[in-house]
Structure formats: C-alpha cells, structure tokens
Amino acid sequence: DVKVTQSSRYLVKRTGEKVFLECVQDMDHENMFWYRQDPGLGLRLIYFSYDVKMKEKGDIPEGYSVSREKKERFSLILESASTNQTSMYLCASSSPLRQFFGPGTRLTVL
C-alpha cells in the first residue's frame, strides 16, 4: 500500500523562524501536493509538483516555498514563520486519479 510520511506530527516554532516540513512517498508518484487545512475552510492547495524540480503555485502560495530535489521527497518551507501560518499541513501524492495523504503536521507558531 502507498505510504506518505511527514517528518513531524506536531511542531512548535517562533515567529520569524525558518520552518521545513518534509514529505516522503514510496510509490514513485510524479505528483505531490501540500495543503493547508483550517476549520471551516477545508483543504487549500499551497503548492504542487508534477516532477522533480517542477512546481506550481496553488491557491495560497504566499509566505511559502517548496523544494523537490528527488522524486520521493517534497518539502514545504516557511521562510519566516508567522502566527497566521498556525495550521494543519497535509502532504499528498497521487497516481493518475487518486491522492494518498500523509498523517499531517500540526504547526503552531508562537
């Protein structure tokens, strides 16, 4: 079965810190995604990547960047964390027509 892992389940950072969220998938999927989940807003797409070193902005890319140096790994970077980036972050990878999700990282920015 496909496995998508995220480096941390819970993370607490301070305002202004640089934050890395890592995601790894083991099924050789080309497409990978980062979402942010907030109550009442559902899942909002931050960035996605359809190949190594390729990325596309999603609906809310401001304040975030991504890196995909290897096919199995997709990293989300908060260059300077802010309190409004406190949220649940979900990574996913997809086969042609189905997404597989990681367990999520709950990030708190103080």
Partner 1 sequence: AQSVTQPDIHITVSEGASLELRCNYSYGATPYLFWYVQSPGQGLQLLLKYFSGDTLVQGIKGFEAEFKRSQSSFNLRKPSVHWSDAAEYFCAVGETGGNQFYFGTGTSLTVIP
Per CB under 8 A, residues contacting partner 1 are 4, 9, 31, 33, 35, 40-43, 45, 48, 50, 90, 92, 94-104, 106
Judged by beta carbon, residue 84 or residue 96, the one nearer partner 1 is 96
CB of 16 to partner 1, least distance (A): 28
Judged by beta carbon, residue 48 or residue 64, the one nearer partner 1 is 48
- C-alpha distances (whole Å) from 11 to each of 4, 26, 49, 58, 103 are 18, 23, 24, 23, 13
CA 68 to chain centroid, in Å, comes to: 11
Judged by beta carbon, residue 14 or residue 27, the one nearer partner 1 is 27
CB of 79 to partner 1, least distance (A): 25
The string of DSSP codes covering 71-106 is TTEEEEEESS--GGG-EEEEEEEEETTEEEE---EE
CB of 77 to partner 1, least distance (A): 21
Best CA proximity match to 103, nearest among 12, 45, 25, 14: 25
Judged by beta carbon, residue 52 or residue 80, the one nearer partner 1 is 52
